[in-house]
Amino acid sequence: MASKLDFVRFPAPDGVNGWWESLPPAAPANSVTGEHRFDYVIVGGGITGLCAARRLAELAPDASIALVEADRIGRSTAGRNSGFFVDLPHDISSESYSRSVEADKADVRLQRHGIDYVRSTVRQHGIDCDWRDDGKYHASVNKKGHAALAHFAQGLARIGEACEWLDEAAIARVTGTGFYKSALFTPGCSTVQPAALMRGLAATQPANVTVFELSAVKGMETRGQSRLLSFANGRIEAQRVVLCTNAYAATFGGHPNGLLPVYTFASMSRVMNDDEIARLGGAQSWALIPADPMGTTVRRLATNRICVRNHFAFRPNLAVSESDLAKAKHLHQRSFDRRFPMLKDVELQYTWGGALCLSANNGALFGQREDGVFEAVGCNGLGLSRGSASGKLIAEYALGQSNPLIDQLLAQPHPRSLPIRPIADVAVSAAIWMKEFSAGAEL
Ligand SMILES: Cc1cc2nc3c(=O)[nH]c(=O)nc-3n(C[C@H](O)[C@H](O)[C@H](O)COP(=O)(O)OP(=O)(O)OC[C@H]3O[C@@H](n4cnc5c(N)ncnc54)[C@H](O)[C@@H]3O)c2cc1C
């Protein structure tokens, strides 16, 4: 017997997503109005929901499938990240991204599965999203960072993954800045324009998928063998529901204080002019993550913009304030100025935040929540590759398939519950603050 589910938090604007703003205007949204009936409803049009809907449609071409998204697809979190499809271990709660050998190998297997699925979709449909298989630089700014990179390199060697060291001069030739002291190049990371990818994935869904945007599910109830989902202007009755709402699932209950909505923030510069491009030098496009997971991620885009990401804030109510955004912009400007002193006049045009879904033990939710209701939630900060994989695999699981990767996801720990609020709030915020403080120069 399924219970009643209230969707109490809905996506808020959370700043202005530069990736979305730099795309051509979107076609008008198709919203839920009136009464509908589908075999499956996927709730959440992020990368997880987009992959779940596609895979279901591929495997069950006669099924009718609805994908419902509260915002525009590409404007919410999956379209507002830094666009790294990371294949290698990337535990942002550790000090050097890696875990144990077995956990690292399992992560790589899963993440590559997700990346391969999306890459093949992008190629098959010619999705215009600046997909690049150019790898990433993992850079340090001092001895402490270099030691973290060395630790990460050892972890890669243990699992048989290749990487290449760059010294100060070599990484400066790539980035144009002398800010970094050393870097590891790892070839398997892909990068994208995330808003363009999400929009493209929505536009190329198989014919048996109907995409609804600006359609927030307000509640879900059981009616006989069906689920009834209510919206502001209509309802959908479905045989089965797949929840892909990531951080927003933190308010569903059932996992008290286990799913932690932690925001991170990004800013994008305006387009540089020819003189500024010449002053910067370096390669036309590169993607760099910091040696300390709490440091600053930077991308130089082929569109001649620079995108920086840093700063985390625990926001259990799933909304950020103007002062959160102002603080993030201030931190981004400082990070930008330290790296690019030759670009003093290049202002940050857009600043935004987005909710990650973390947990204290790297746990996630995958499987059947209750009769007819499935969930794939909890990316732990690596939603592009992990969400692609878990979205694809939850569709296969919902159709009764089994394979080793499904078993791997079913076996992962559930998010560990924390003490009740406000104790949990203070503990999580303090842990983030200490980690950011320790990242120091990498910010
Ligand atoms: C600034 C920033 C940089 C990041 N960089 C990276 C990166 O480089 N690489 C990486 O892998 N990850 C990165 N991330 C994390 C990544 O964006 C997330 O892990 C990813 O979006 C998770 O995908 P998802 O589909 O599971 O969830 P989401 O993208 O959060 O999608 C869930 C969707 O559900 C919708 N929804 C919620 N409630 C409802 C409702 N009631 N009705 C209908 N729809 C609803 C939401 O609007 C949302 O679109 C970054 C995040 C941010 C904010």
Provide the β-strand partners of residue 288.
Answer: 137, 298
Looking only at the bridges linking them, the beta strands covering 190-191 and 306-314 are unpaired
Question: Does ligand 1 have an atom closer than 6 angstroms to the CB of 114?
Answer: no
Question: Does ligand 1 have an atom closer than 6 angstroms to the CB of 72?
Answer: no
Question: Does ligand 1 have an atom closer than 6 angstroms to the CB of 165?
Answer: no
Distance 125 CA to ligand 1 centre (A): 23
pLDDT of residue 341: 98
Edge-first strand listing for the sheet containing 136-140: 164-166, 182-186, 136-140, 286-290, 297-300, 306-314, 260-269, 348-358
pLDDT of residue 439: 75
Q: Are 56 and 65 in contact (CB under 8 A)?
A: yes
Distance 356 CA to ligand 1 centre (A): 7
Question: Does ligand 1 have an atom closer than 6 angstroms to the CB of 244?
Answer: yes
Q: Are 16 and 195 in contact (CB under 8 A)?
A: no
Render 79-126 in DSSP notation, one character per residue.
GSS--EE--S--BTTSSSB---HHHHHHHHHHHHHHHHHHHHHHHHHT
Distance 318 CA to ligand 1 centre (A): 12
pLDDT of residue 251: 78
Task: Give the whole-angstrom CA distance, residue 276 versus residue 160.
Answer: 41
Task: Give the whole-angstrom CA distance, residue 347 versus residue 178.
Answer: 20
| Residue-range definition of the domain harbouring residue 354 | 5-442
Question: Does ligand 1 have an atom closer than 6 angstroms to the CB of 280?
Answer: no
Task: Give the whole-angstrom CA distance, residue 151 versus residue 156.
Answer: 9
Question: Does ligand 1 have an atom closer than 6 angstroms to the CB of 82?
Answer: yes
With a cut of 50, list the residues of the chain below it in pLDDT. 1
Task: Give the whole-angstrom CA distance, residue 352 versus residue 309.
Answer: 10
Tally of CB atoms within 10 A around 385: 29
Distance 342 CA to ligand 1 centre (A): 34
Render 15-62 in DSSP notation, one character per residue.
B--HHHHTSPPPPPP----EEEEEEEEEE--SHHHHHHHHHHHHH-TT
CA distances from 291 to 92, 175, 439, 441 (A): 11, 16, 9, 10
Distance 300 CA to ligand 1 centre (A): 22
pLDDT tens digits for range 370-395: 999 999 998 777 899 999 999 999 99
Task: Give the whole-angstrom CA distance, residue 294 versus residue 133.
Answer: 25
pLDDT tens digits for range 391-423: 999 999 999 999 999 999 999 998 888 766 777
What's the CATH number where 388 sits?
A: 3.50.50.60
Candidate of 6, 75, 286, 384 to mutate for ligand 1, largest count of ligand atoms within 8 Å of Cβ: 384
349-371: b or e for each residue (b if 16 or more CB lie within 10 Å)?
ebbbbbbbbbbbebbbbbeebee
Residue nearest to atom 37 of ligand 1 (CA): 245
Distance 381 CA to ligand 1 centre (A): 9
pLDDT of residue 97: 63
Amino acid at 262: V
Render 306-355 in DSSP notation, one character per residue.
EEEEEEEEE-TTS---HHHHHHHHHHHHHHHHHH-GGGTT--EEEEEEEE
pLDDT of residue 418: 74
HEC readout, 45-56? CCHHHHHHHHHH
Question: Does ligand 1 have an atom closer than 6 angstroms to the CB of 18?
Answer: no
Residue nearest to atom 25 of ligand 1 (CA): 46
pLDDT of residue 426: 77
pLDDT of residue 159: 93
Residue nearest to atom 18 of ligand 1 (CA): 383
How many domains are there within the chain? Answer: 1
Cα angle, residue 336 at apex, residues 281 and 147 outer, rounded to 5°: 90
pLDDT of residue 1: 45
pLDDT of residue 317: 87
Distance 9 CA to ligand 1 centre (A): 14
Provide the β-strand partners of residue 300.
Answer: 286, 306
Question: Does ligand 1 have an atom closer than 6 angstroms to the CB of 74?
Answer: no
Helices (H), 159-280: 168-175, 194-203, 274-280
